[in-house]
Amino acid sequence: MKPSQLLVPLALCLLALAGCKESSKPAAQVSPKEEAGAPKAAPKEESKAKGAQDPALLDPSMAKATAPATYKVKFDTTKGSFTVEVHRDWAPQGADRFYNLVKIGFFDDVAFFRAIEGFMVQFGISGDPKVAAVWRDATIPDDPPTQANTKGKITFATSGPNARTTQVFINYGDNSRLDGMGFAPFGEVVDGMSVVDSLYKGYGEGAPRGHGPNQGLIQTKGNEYLRKDFPLLDYVKTARIAE
């Protein structure tokens, strides 16, 4: 197969990175309530994560903070922990959106719903349909790519120009061909890439092209749908600002 022939199916796969606008556009992400360095308040923090939600989860207009120049996010998952370091100068709009999603707890109990060996693992649709619905159209402007989509880089998914919302993916290999399509990395995994590599990939590509989860049904039915029909998926337990 000629290299040029690979671009058509690849482009279709990339549209699925954020879902089709008509039926399955993306939705969600992560957050912390307390940054590292603050006095420990584990019991209180834990009750927040499991109890009262941050009001910004249901009102994206409240999540507009400017991110630090660099920051780290620690993900605790069903396979272990990994840490992402974000560089705001790589992609300012993406770095700010990711920071706000983490701060409000958006990524907690969010599934890694699309994992393809050698390509990428994708997550960021809220498991709560009410949250997914309000973030579905909370788009941010594009950032021009300044970094290559190489292994370990984290990037927002998109379904077209200025369409990024809450879905992100981590590259499993050298996907620098995505750079020219407007996919702008904003950070990279700096610890625990072996955990990312170990996330469950058995369901493959998502519906309707494959047998994996349907993004539209994740949007409307949330984790109830995923846990029933795709019980082997891995999940983010919590995501918190580490530095």
Each residue's pLDDT tens digit, 175-188? 999 999 999 999 99
> How high is the pLDDT of residue 230?
97
Each residue's pLDDT tens digit, 82-125? 999 999 999 999 999 999 999 999 999 999 999 999 999 999 99
Each residue's pLDDT tens digit, 144-163? 999 999 999 999 999 899 99
First to last CA, the chain: 46
* Mean pLDDT score, 191-195: 98
3-state SS class at 65: coil
List, as one string, the DSSP characters of 105-150: TBTTTEEEEEEETTTEEEE---SSHHHHHHHTT--B------S---
> Is pLDDT above 60 for 3?
no
> Is pLDDT above 60 for 17?
no
> Is pLDDT above 70 for 31?
no
Q: Please report where in the chains the tokens 């549209």 appear, as a residue.
A: 15
Percent residues over pLDDT 70 in the chain: 78
Q: For the domain bounded by 3-241, which CATH number is listed?
A: 2.40.100.10
Which pTM value belongs to this model? 0.81
